[in-house]
Amino acid sequence: MDERYNYIERSEINFAPVMKALWNIKECEKIYPFLVGIDPYGDTYFNVHQTSKVIEELEKLKKGEMPESTQKEIVNAIEFIKKVEQGISVKFIGD
């Protein structure tokens, strides 16, 4: 989204499996403080300063043991956020 909250680009990434993998990690709140803040039922916004931290946490998470389909969603999320990272907010849309 731009600074006026207009959508610039949308992604069809299904982040639910990623959240499930995340919550199966012991002490995930300490290791992934930004990712655990994503609300699976509501919307979550990350500003331009936070997106780099989200990418760092996704990069770390993708190295863990999980189904290949979940790995693919993480890679897709990283690529999408990197594409829009410069000066733009990212919105995760819950159920």
* Spatial distance between the Cα atoms of 44 and 50, rounded to a whole number of angstroms: 12
How many CB atoms neighbour CB 16 within 10 A? 13
Which token pair is 63?
């190295």
* Spatial distance between the Cα atoms of 41 and 49, rounded to a whole number of angstroms: 24
| Greater model confidence, 20 or 95 | 20
The whole model's pTM is what? 0.82
- Express each pLDDT in 43-61 by its tens digit: 888 888 888 899 999 999 9
* Spatial distance between the Cα atoms of 2 and 55, rounded to a whole number of angstroms: 19
User: Helices (DSSP H) in the chain: which residue ranges?
Assistant: 16-23, 28-31, 51-61, 68-84
